[in-house]
Amino acid sequence: QIKESATLTRDVLEQHFNDLKGTLKKLLDERLLSLLQEVDVIEQESIKPLDECQKLIEHGVSTADDLLREGESAVDGDVGTQNEKLCNFTKKALHIQLDSLPEVPSLVDVPCLSAQLDDCLLTILKNQIFRHGTVASRPPVQLEEFVEKPGGILVRWCKVDDDFTPQDYRLQYRKSTSSHFEDVYVGSETEFMVLHIDPNVDYQFRVCARGDGRQEWSPWSVPQLGRTTLVPHEWTTGLEGYSLSSRRNIALRNDSQSCGVLYSKAPTYFCGQTLTFRQVLFGIETVGQPDRRDSLGVCVEQHNGYDSLQRDKAVCISTNGAVFVNGKEMTNQLPAVTSGSTVTFDMEVVQLGPCSNEGGNFKLRVTISSNNREVVFDWVLDQCCGSLYFGCSFSYPGWKVLVF
C-alpha cells in the first residue's frame, strides 16, 4: 500500500507540474506576443507624421536643386536665349516658396519606446510556487463499513482527522475489472446505498472530502473492496396493471384498469435484513390518487385472487399510514406515504415451540418505519418462514415504487 500510493503520488505530482510548465509557457508566449504587437502599433502610429514631414522637406530640397540648376543654365546660356531663360526662371522662383518648411514635431513630442519589466513578478511567482501543493500522508476520511443489501451495498465512512472540518463528501466506485472510478454520491451524509450492484462481484470504493469553505477535494481514502452475495429484489413481470424498469426494481402503476397485487419475483426477503420501499418522483404528478386498499408490505406466499395485501399471512402499510396484520388494522398508525417517502420493514425471528415440517407456532418481531416514525409488533404464523415475498397494490395510476 505504501509503495503503491507513493508511486501514484509521484506520477500525479509529475503530471501536474508538467501541465503547469506547459500552461505557464503558453501564457508567457501570449503575453510576449501581445507586448510586441503593442510596440509595432506605437511605432507605426508615431513614425507616420515624421515620414510625411521628411518627404515634404526632401521634395522642397529637390525643387530648389532643380531651380538652381535652371538658374545656372540661364546665366551660362547665349545672349539670344538668356533673356527668355532668365524671365522663366524669375517667374518660377516667384511661385516657389523656398523659405517655408513643414512643422517638425518637437523632441519631447516624439515617442521613445522602452520595455518596463517589474522583477517583483518573479518574487510573487516564487512565493506562490513554493507554497503550491502538499503531500498528505493520511487522508482526512476513511471507509468504515460495508453492509450487504440485495443488489446493493450500504457504504459508510468517517472522518479520521480531528482538525479537518468537512463540508461535502465524494464517494466513487468501480468494478474490480474496470480501470475507471465513477462518482456515485456527492453530499454531506456519511453513508450511501449504492444500488445496481451485481452479486458476488468485487467492487472497489474510495471516498474523499471537501473542507469547509474550500473548493479543492482532499486526498482519496485507501481503496477498499466490497461485495454483496444477496441477489437484487425484483418485481415479477407480466401483471397488466404495472410497468417495470429495466432492472425490474421499480414498479409503475400504469393507467390500465386491471387491479391486483404485484408480488416479488421470488421470496428474496430474509429475516434480519431491511426491506425498503421508496416512492419515486414521477413527472409532474408525484404520486397517484390514494385508495384505502393501497398497500406496501410482505407476505408468506403469493395469492393472485386478492386486490390488496390487507389479508391473512401478510403485514402491510396503506398509503394513508394504517398498518395491517393478517388483514386486521392496528390502532397505531404511521404518517401517510407521500412524494419521496421511504418505508422500511425489519424482522427478526422469535420462535414459539418446535418448528418442523408439519408446522408449528412461529413469531416474527416486525418493525415498520416511515417518515421517522415506527411501529413494532409480533406477527404470529402457523409455519416456519425462512424467506418472504414482498408486494404492493395501487388502485390508481401514478404510483412509482423502488424496492431495495
Give the model confidence (pLDDT) of 315-342 as tens digits: 999 999 999 999 999 998 999 988 788 9
Long-range CB contacts (within 8 A, 24+) of 9-13: 9/135, 13/133, 13/135
Q: What pLDDT is attached to residue 19?
A: 94
249 has pLDDT over 70: yes
- pLDDT value of residue 66: 80
Over residues 353-357, the mean pLDDT reads 52
pLDDT in tens, 198-232: 999 999 999 999 988 788 888 889 889 999 998 89
The amino acid at residue 146 is: F
Where does 310-380 have alpha helices with state H?
none
Q: From CA 345, how far away is CA 119, in angstroms rounded? A: 70
Q: How far apart are CA 260 and CA 251, in angstroms?
A: 13
Indicate if the pLDDT at residue 358 is higher than 70: no
> Quick one: pLDDT at residue 213?
79
pLDDT tier at 234, thresholds 50, 70, 90: very high
Smallest CA-to-CA distance from 116 within 39, 45, 37, 44 is with: 39
Residue 157 scores a pLDDT above 90 = yes
Average model confidence (pLDDT) across the chain: 86
Rg (CA), the chain: 45
Does 37 score more than 70 pLDDT? yes
| DSSP-derived secondary structure for 199-265 | TT--EEEEEEEEETT--SBPPPPPPEEE---SPPP-BPS--TTEEE-TTS-EEEE-S-S---PEEBS
With vertex at residue 346, the alpha carbon angle to CA 343 and CA 347, rounded to the nearest 5 degrees, is 145
For the cut 90, the answer to whether the pLDDT of residue 93 exceeds it is no
pTM: 0.60
Residue at grid coordinates 474523499: 208
Which range has highest mean pLDDT (37-41, 126-130, 183-187, 246-250)? 183-187
Q: Is the pLDDT of residue 382 over 80?
A: yes
- Give the pairing type, strands 314-318 and 322-325: antiparallel
- Mean pLDDT over 114-140 rounds to 83
Check residue 309 and give its pLDDT.
93
pLDDT at 360: 53
Span 242-271, average pLDDT: 91
Query: How do 141-149 and 152-159 pair as beta strands?
Result: antiparallel
Q: Are 345 and 298 contacting, i.e. CB atoms less than 8 angstroms apart?
A: yes
b/e map 363-386, b = 16+ CB within 10 Å: ebebebbbeeeebeeebebeeebe
What is residue 301's DSSP assignment? S
